[in-house]
Amino acid sequence: MNGILVVNEFLHSNKFNEIHAWLVTAAKKQGIELQVRTNAELLIDIPIGRKDINADFILFWDKDVKLAYYLEQLGYPVFNSSKAIGICDDKALTHLTLMNAGIPMPRTRIAPMTFDNIGYTNYDFLMETAKSLGFPMVVKESFGSFGQQVYLVSDYGELARRVSQCGAKPVIFQEFIRSSEGRDVRLQVVGDRVIAGMYRYSENGDFRANVTNGGRMKQYEPTPEQCGLALQCCREIGLDFAGVDLLFGGKEEPILCEVNSNAHFKNIFDCTGVNAADAIISYILMRLIP
Ligand SMILES: Nc1ncnc2c1ncn2[C@@H]1O[C@H](COP(=O)(O)OP(=O)(O)O)[C@@H](O)[C@H]1O
Ligand SMILES: [Mg+2]
């Protein structure tokens, strides 16, 4: 059996290379040759299918959803699917997809779409959002990771400045879950199981718990309610594996923060000793040879 690990041509940091190497090693341990190819090497060519792909499956560790879709159209089993990756990559789409599934989540407003060369010429929607969500308010770029495009704004002036800095990029506005300030839970899901959990907390006063942002982490035994919520989100979105971030509500009940289709699993390994790469490869094998 052999597979292709699709990665992004233009991301070269160690942080990413390390995850790719772990996946290749995990595959090797299970007798699978996983060849690394970048999204630029597998350039989409329509309507001709590529002749240089020899794989029983594609492990898609990128967000180039058009390429994932193309590979699906060529008939390859792709993990995660292009649709699931697309829903996770866009935080607005994640909340929209889950809104009718009874998933507790922060009240969320999605900024109206505008155009690059125009931006926003009328801020009435922002005024209305300020009135309904109040302050402090969480502003997130729809496409962002590691907490780097997530902001807390404390008044209307800051909100307007932040939105104008984002230009025409899609953003969402969220109720600030104060009971979760500086802490959250990351659960690693593979198939229909939560394989590991960690509690992340910031000690530097930042409201974000991301480890990349200076947050600390410790091993965490998730409650059945947290596990149920994470698994339900993954099922609804159609994910094979994911990292699910949960906030703490006023009674410590879980509230969905976001779902990551290509979650960096090194931190959770350092924290718990659980190697998500092994579980992901076993899961793919199980799916291909039930
Ligand atoms: N509505 C919210 N209320 C309180 N804290 C939040 C809220 N949304 C996000 N956070 C905090 O910000 C962090 C980053 O947000 P998240 O949506 O997970 O974005 P990213 O994809 O950048 O990790 C979360 O881990 C959490 O600690
Ligand atoms: Mg997150």
**Model pTM score:** 0.97
Same fold, 2-80 and 87-104+179-288: no
CA of 257 to the centre of ligand 1 (A): 6
Q: Outline where DSSP puts E strands in the chain.
A: 2-7, 33-38, 57-60, 78-79, 108-110, 137-141, 150-153, 171-175, 183-190, 193-201, 216-219, 241-248, 254-260
Regions in the chain scoring below 70 on pLDDT: none
Long-range contacts at 60-67 (CB < 8 A, ≥ 24 apart): 60/6, 60/85, 61/5, 61/6, 61/7, 61/19, 61/20, 61/23, 61/262, 62/6, 62/7, 62/8, 62/262, 63/8, 63/89, 63/261, 63/262, 64/6, 64/8, 64/39, 65/89, 67/6, 67/39, 67/42
Six token digits for residue 275:
């190697």
Q: Specify the pLDDT at position 26.
A: 98
Gap from CA of 290 to ligand 2 centroid (Å): 32
pLDDT at 145: 94
CATH of domain 87-104+179-288: 3.30.470.20
Q: Residue 146 phi/psi, 5° resolution?
A: 60, 20
Phi-psi region of 218 (alpha: psi -120 to 50; beta: other; left: phi over 0): beta
Q: Of 3.30.1490.20, 3.90.1150.10, 3.40.190.10, 3.20.20.70, which CATH number belongs to 108-176?
A: 3.30.1490.20
- Of the CA atoms within 13 Å of residue 27, those in its CB half-sphere come to 21
- Ligand 1 pocket mutation pick from 148, 257, 258, 262 by most atoms within 8 angstroms of CB: 257
Q: Which tokens is 173 given?
A: 């506005």
CATH number corresponding to 2-80: 3.40.50.20
Which sequence spans correspond to the domains of the chain? 2-80, 87-104+179-288, 108-176
Ligand 1 site, residue 180, Cβ cutoff 6 A: yes
Task: Output the CA 208–ligand 1 centroid distance in Å.
Answer: 6
pLDDT at 212: 86
